[in-house]
Structures are given as C-alpha cells and as structure tokens.
Structure 1
Amino acid sequence: MKLTVVGGGSTYTPELIDGFARLRDGLPIDELWLVDTDPERLALVAGISQRMFAAAGHPGKVIPTTDLVAGVSDADTVLLQLRVGGQAARHGDESFPHDCGCIGQETTGPGGFAKALRTVPVVLQVAETIRKHAKPDAWIIDFTNPVGIVTRALLNEGHRAVGLCNVAIGFQRRFANILGVDHRNVTLDHVGLNHLSWERGVRVKTPSGTIDRLPALLSSHLPAVAEEVRLPASLITMLGAVPSYYLRYFYAHDVVLGEQLGEPTRAHAVLDVEKQLLEIYADPSVTTKPAQLEKRGGAFYSEAAVDLIASLLNDRGDAQVVNLANNGTLPFLPDDHVIEVPATVNSSGLVALPVAPLPDDIAGLIANVAGYERLALDAAIHGGRERVVRAMMAHPLVLQYDRAEKLSELLIAGNREHLAWAR
C-alpha cells in the first residue's frame, strides 16, 4: 500500500508516524511518501519518521519528495495537511481581526475565512494532480483547515474525498477516561459543522446493551466537563449537550477576545515549539516522537486517521465522525453542504447516520455559519472584493457592514501574495 501525505514536512507528521507504527496491523503501509515544498524541513521530518518506523519494527519505507506528481502517483490514499503561508499567515489570521473587535482564530471567524481564501485554490490544484496520477479509486483524506469548506470544495469538483477532524475522537477519549471505561466502547452523538459541533449523547457499550451516559456525565462530572471546554457549567446544563471548545468563540466571544488581546498569538507559541522539534528531529539518536510534540496540538489525530483509512480500504462498515455531504441528514441545510456527524465507513463510501431533530438555537447557529461557509467558498473559488465582503458580513461573529468592509480590507492587504485575483 502506498500512502501519501501532502504537507508531509509538517513538524506534526511524527505524530502520524507514531500512529501508523503502533496500529500497523489495521493499516499495513509499504510506502509512505511525504510531499512538501520545503526540502530542508522535509529531510528532517522524513529522517525521524524512518527511524521511528525502524525502531517500531515497521517494514514500511518513508520516501520524501518535493515532486507532487511523484508523491501521489499510484497512491492508494492521499492525506492533505497543508498550511498555505505557514505560521506567518496564521499569525495574521489570529491578529488582524482584533483591529475590529473580533476574535482572531485560524479556523473560525475572519481569520478562518482568510485561511479558506488562501487554501481552497491550492487544495483544488493538488486534488487535480491526485485525480490524474493516483489510483482511480484513491481516497483524499482532508485534514486541512477549515475542513468543512475545503472538503466541500473537493466534493463539488467530484473528488473522492472525506474530511477529518480530531475534536470528536478527543472527546471520546476524555469522556471514556472520566467514566472509567474503554474508549473503544464509547460512541458519540456528535452533530454540527467542523469546529461548530455538540456532543448530544455519550453511548457506552455494556454487556447488557448500550447506555447513554451523557446525563450521568453532566450530573456527576459537570465541573470537569465545563473546565474541559472552558464554558459555564450552567450553559452546558441548559443546552443538555457538550459544545466543542470552538463554541467558546461564539458563546464567550468577548471573554475570549479580552484574553487574546493580552497574550501573544498561538502562532508565536507554535513557532517556538516547531524550532525545538526540528532541532530534535535533526538528532539521529531520536527514534520516538518527542514529548514536546504534545504542545503542537492535534491530539489523537493519528488514531482517527488510521481508523478512517483502514475502514475505507478494508470495507469495515463501522461508524466514525467525519465531514461529508449532508444529503438530507440536517433538513435545514442544502444536500451538498458538508456537515460533521457519525457515518458508516466502507470502501464504497460513507453514509451519515440519522440525527435527531435539533433545538432551534443550535439549528439556527449551524444554518447561519453554513450560509457564511457557502459564501466563503464562492469567494475562495471566484475571488473579488465584493464576494469577500459579503461572506465576511454573513459570519455571525461579524454581521455589521462597516466592520465587514474594514475586516475585508485588512484580510486582502495581509494575504495579497496568496490571492491571485488581488495582486
């Protein structure tokens, strides 16, 4: 099996390698190709990746390349983890919205919109190369943010794609730990959009059947759950569901903004971590993922990726939380909109599991953000200042026209080199 990671020079790649090595029985890899535009960084990441495979007794070969065509040729699966513009662009995403009293975040709000505008055209170009050179039935696994918008762009162009995020698997593992049960016996009633989701059930398999433990979780462990998502316990009780930590940007916007204005951006912290990691990767004696990698984020991503790819290739038909076309699952959204819900996964494709009707407040917020996402994708594909302003104004964290205009000017000025239509 040939698996390709586009953006394989990321300092996060050894987390993937660790998962591939530990879980190789479910996903045997003969060749792992790492594709990246930065040859020096790629060499360091590929070096530790090959050493990790060898130390774990994994027979797979790690092959680094800056040639996208060579990297994806005859690939069975291609995983996308791109960051167009690097951490410098991320710093802009996390800071320019502050000038207009908005939160700065790389996937949510104005910053997430900037990332979408930079990213979608590049991903679609990469996907066309995959279509031409990978195996005809190859899957594209998108971990590139904003996952919902990027995955919809891929699906609209007819690519065999699915979006993946680590939020659900992170909740699964943390809930299992709180409840003292094996995570493999825990499934979630997860619903929403990427980075706009709620856990409405925590179902635990027992010898006598499956039981929803969410009521008990909120009754006996509410302070721990509230601390995990950094939201008031009373809000979680009112919702009767656990919002992902990304909902904090909506439910506690002004609090988060105040915190951000007093701290360096996350991009600054990641730059420091990446510098440390690259120095460690250059050490030929290092054969396991370093502890510093935990500061990089993306916990359990490797497990989620292995589970998804194994099910797609081996026709397992199990349920996993993924990003896929709505197709009537949420009746208030268009069929082609990408949602994040549990779905059965097999080699022929993915089918969303039924979702119980949502309360008006949650459905309304999903519909609002989904409307912004559709306008954002239109702006990313076709460009133009007016499309940018319209999408910006549609986001529920912006809304006001004057604010949307100013944010759009800041966005365009800071990202001009990445926007072909704005040069």
Structure 2
Amino acid sequence: MSKKLKVVTIGGGSSYTPELLEGFIKRYDELPITELWLVDVEAGKEKQDIIFDLCLRMVEHAGVPIAIYKTLNRREALVDADFVTTQLRVGQLKARELDERIPLSQGYLGQETNGAGGLFKGLRTIPVIFDIIKDVEEICPNAWVINFTNPAGMVTEAVFRHTNFKKFIGVCNIPVGMKMFIQDVLKVKPEDELNIDLFGLNHLVFIRDVLVNGESRFAELLDGVASGTLKPSGVKNIFDLPFSEGLIRSLNLLPCSYLLYYFKPKEMLAIEMGEFYKGGARATVVQQVEKQLFELYKDPNLDVKPKELELRGGAYYSDAACEVISAIYNDKQTEHYVNFPHKGHIDNIPADWAIEMTCTIGRDGATPSPRIKHFDEKVLGLVYTIKGFEIAASEAALSGQFNDVLLALNLSPLIHSDKDAERLARDMLLAHEALLPNFAGTIAGLK
C-alpha cells in the first residue's frame, strides 16, 4: 500500500483524541498511519499540549511508528493529508452551556443537537467546516473528510447542499452503540455476520430489521425491548427513560435514544427543567468530567486511554471513525451507518437530502444498502419535519439573516410559539455574538 498515510485531526485538543488514537493503534496492521497531526486554535492550545504529550506516550507504549505532530496552523497540517477528521467545538463548552441555559431559562429544551441549542451550534459550526473544506480543496483535494462534529446531520446537509465537495462523510456514535447493544443481547459471535437495517436522519434513526447470518432476529429483539426485558443502552448525555411498550409495538421499529425528545417531549423537558432549577445543565457536568480527564491526561505515567473517558458521552466515536477510514483505505466494502447524500436511492424522500442509513463503504465512499429502498411511512412525517429544520438551519448559517434563524426555529417541533422563537433568536444571537461573524450586521441591528 501507500508508503505514507497521513491523518489530520482538527480539534486535536479534544478530550476524545486519546480514544481516536487508541482506535488507530488497535488497527495499525490494517491502517499503518505514519503521521497524525493534531490541529487546534489558540484558545485550545493548553489542552492540545496536554493531549499531544499523552499521544506521544500512548504511541511509545504501543510500540507503533506513528509520528505525532501538533500545530495551530491548519493549512500547514493539511499538506499531503490522506484523511481529515473534524471533531471541533466552536466556542468550546462555554458556548454549549449557553445553548442549554438560554432555552431552559425560557421554558424550552436546552440540548446541543436539537431545538434552539442545536440550531445555534449549527450556526457557529457550519461556516468553520466550510472554511476547512476550502482549505482541503486547495491543499489536499484527494483527502477524505470524516466529520464527527455535531450537529452531524445539519453539517452534512449543509456541505452537500452548499458546496461541491464530495469526499465528506458524517459519522455518529449512536448507531455504533445500538449495534453493540444488539451484539450483546443477541449474543452475536465475532464470526457471525450481523446486518442492521437502520434509516433516518442523524439523531433520528430507526432500526427496522436485524439479520444474523442472513436470518432475521428482529421480532425477538423488538419483543424484548417493548416488554422491558431487554434494555437498550442509552447515551451519557440523555436521561435514561424507556419508551412505552405501546409505542415500540405500534411503530414496529426500534428508535434511537434521541427520539425521546420527540416521543416524550413533556417528560424530557420536565427532567431538564428540574436540573436547571438546581443550577445544573449537561454542559456543566461535561465541563467537570473534562476537567478531571485533563488532570488525568497530565499524569506523565499515563500511557493509555483512561477508562474515565467513557463518562464523557461520546463513547465509540473512534470505532466509527477508524472503521470508516479503514474501509475507505482498504476498499473493504463493509457495512456502516453514516451520514451522506442518498442521491435518489430512497424512493419516498427528495433525492438531494443527506440522510443517515446503512451503507457499504469502500474506496469510493458510501453506497446505500440495497435492502433499504424507502423510509417507513409511519415516521416519514417526523423525518420531513426535522429535515425541513436542518435545511433551514443550513441556509441561515450562510445567510446571516435574522428571518432565516426565525424560520429554522419556528420549523422545529420543539419550539411552540412564534413569539418565543423571536425572543430566543435575539437572545442567542446576542449571547454568541463573538462566534457568529456571519451575523455581525444582524446582531448590530438588534442592539
């Protein structure tokens, strides 16, 4: 294979980077990375330095010849890159805290990929991803960009709707967690062939069939989840509430945990409001976890990924990302669950949508599974609603116009009043002013 394999990780100072590197180390025989570059911004330099030192120790401990570099100069890092991974957070966790607290202070769900919080994370993130893509097109046009920056669905939609860049795949850990749950409860052995028919949008996916060695095991899985004898593993940043038996049986689908926000909005909001009134928000918890992680990372004797990282809420991101990179690099033609444009493969949604579904990945990227030709009609209304929100959000991120922000907010099923949407839009634009250069003119008019 190629003598050099260079990966550039943008957001290299993230607390997730040790997990990503662990994934690369585990797969070194099939993915012989020669260079891993960690890129960050000035505000993330201290964390980047700590992560860099830990990565050096991890590589030395593992005995693999991966050269680790760090830089604040993205363009320098991108020269001759084969893969670029994006795991950035514009404004870091302080911005996430505003995304959660401002909506909650007005009686609305505060969450980093849904509703008002998800919208504003997208408004900050999409222009930065576009800048990265421009640099990639100029400096390393043959590189693949593997994105696991949230909101991944909105970001993927924006890239394929508003740029001509094709070598972009959005990755999420939610389907990986669902797959691991299925492997566990169905006692799938490593030599078994497991196929999962998963479809929808990012953080809005459903499983409609599970095949083990070609035989459907979906009925027993659905029955176990519906009756409560099998308990799906949620994600760390979502409160653990079971879906009702009636919902699971009537849908005849297995929803991902993020669908709690749409099927249990009253309960989810009540829980979040209770935490908020006690002075808490998920971002506050994450900042504490991250602080503890970086104290651990500083330990000169630590030379592996610490177990505590799993508390952070992004477990299995590395497996998703590393597996996708390996599938492309080795032309594996293996099954994955990613965000990409289906280009008309699904017959009952618009051909230009970016979606999340089961696909096969090889050197040419993602090809949709031939087993899934259309989305289940029962959930099509919700899928259309959320996709309308994502499309409006991506338009707003580029236009910088107040009315485009308002439209996106009003299209979200989690916002219940047009007047509240105006107040939320105004308050959040003002709060995030420093991170929304596209909106400079709009924000000046609000003051």
Normalised by the shorter chain, which TM-score bucket? over 0.9
User: Is 1:153 the equivalent of 2:161?
Assistant: no
The 1:58/1:65 distance shift into structure 2, 3 A limit, reads same
How far is the alpha carbon of 1:105 from its aligned partner?
A: 0.5
Give, in whole Å, the separation in 2 of the partners of 1:81 and 1:194.
Answer: 16
Report the residue type matching 1:350 in the other structure: A
Give, in whole Å, the separation in 2 of the partners of 1:328 and 1:169.
Answer: 25
Q: Which residue in 1 is equivalent to 2:105?
A: 99
Q: Which residue in 1 is equivalent to 2:237?
A: none
Structure 1's unaligned 5+ residue stretches are: none
Give, in whole Å, the separation in 1 of the partners of 2:320 and 2:211.
Answer: 18
Kept in 1: contact 2:10–2:38 (CA 8 A): yes
Give, in whole Å, the separation in 1 of the partners of 2:159 and 2:189.
Answer: 35
Could you tell me which of 54, 62, 83 is aligned with 1:48? 54
The 1:76/1:359 distance shift into structure 2, 3 A limit, reads closer
The 1:220/1:374 distance shift into structure 2, 3 A limit, reads closer
User: Is 1:9 the equivalent of 2:13?
Assistant: yes
Report the residue type matching 2:311 in the other structure: K
Instruction: Give deviations 1:317-362, integer Å, cap 9, x for gaps.
Output: 2221110012113334332221001112111232212425444331
Give, in whole Å, the separation in 1 of the partners of 2:318 and 2:131.
Answer: 25
Three-state SS of the structure 1 residue aligned to 2:308 is helix
Q: Which residue in 2 is equivalent to 1:111?
A: 117
Kept in 2: contact 1:116–1:149 (CA 8 A): yes
Report the residue type matching 2:407 in the other structure: R
Instruction: Give deviations 1:3-36, integer Å, cap 9, x for gaps.
Output: 0100010011101111111121221100000001
Report the residue type matching 1:411 in the other structure: M
Q: Which residue in 1 is equivalent to 2:205?
A: 197
Three-state SS of the structure 2 residue aligned to 1:103 is coil
Give, in whole Å, the separation in 2 of the partners of 1:7 and 1:321.
Answer: 23
Once structures 1 and 2 are overlaid, which stretch shifts more, 248-257 or 227-236? 227-236
Three-state SS of the structure 2 residue aligned to 1:327 is coil
Three-state SS of the structure 2 residue aligned to 1:315 is coil
User: Is 1:83 the equivalent of 2:95?
Assistant: no
Q: Which residue in 2 is equivalent to 1:216?
A: 220
Give, in whole Å, the separation in 1 of the partners of 2:151 and 2:32.
Answer: 29
How far is the alpha carbon of 1:233 from its aligned partner?
A: 2.5
Three-state SS of the structure 2 residue aligned to 1:262 is helix
User: Is 1:138 the equivalent of 2:143?
Assistant: yes
Matches for 1:123-272 after TM superposition, within 5 Å: 123-134=129-140, 136-155=141-160, 156-159=162-165, 160-182=167-189, 185-205=193-213, 210-222=214-226, 223-225=228-230, 228=233, 230=241, 231-263=243-275, 264-272=280-288
Structure 2's unaligned 5+ residue stretches are: 235-240
Instruction: Give deviations 1:283-306, integer Å, cap 9, x for gaps.
Output: 111011112111112121111111
Give, in whole Å, the separation in 1 of the partners of 2:365 and 2:188.
Answer: 30
The 1:332/1:400 distance shift into structure 2, 3 A limit, reads farther
Aligned alpha-carbon RMSD (Å): 1.6
Give, in whole Å, the separation in 1 of the partners of 2:147 and 2:63.
Answer: 28
Once structures 1 and 2 are overlaid, which stretch shifts more, 253-262 or 217-226? 217-226
TM-score by length of 1: 0.95
Report the residue type matching 2:222 in the other structure: L
Runs of 4+ in 1 over 6 A off after TM superposition: none
User: Is 1:336 the equivalent of 2:352?
Assistant: yes
Could you tell me which of 416, 432, 444 is aligned with 1:415? 432
Give, in whole Å, the separation in 1 of the partners of 2:354 and 2:31.
Answer: 27
Three-state SS of the structure 1 residue aligned to 2:36 is strand
Report the residue type matching 1:188 in the other structure: I
Matched residues, percent identical? 36
Give, in whole Å, the separation in 1 of the partners of 2:207 and 2:30.
Answer: 27
Q: Which residue in 2 is equivalent to 1:280?
A: 296
The 1:393/1:332 distance shift into structure 2, 3 A limit, reads farther
Once structures 1 and 2 are overlaid, which stretch shifts more, 404-413 or 380-389? 404-413
The 1:40/1:276 distance shift into structure 2, 3 A limit, reads same
Give, in whole Å, the separation in 2 of the partners of 1:102 and 1:201.
Answer: 34
Could you tell me which of 363, 380, 392 is aligned with 1:363? 380
Report the residue type matching 1:14 in the other structure: P
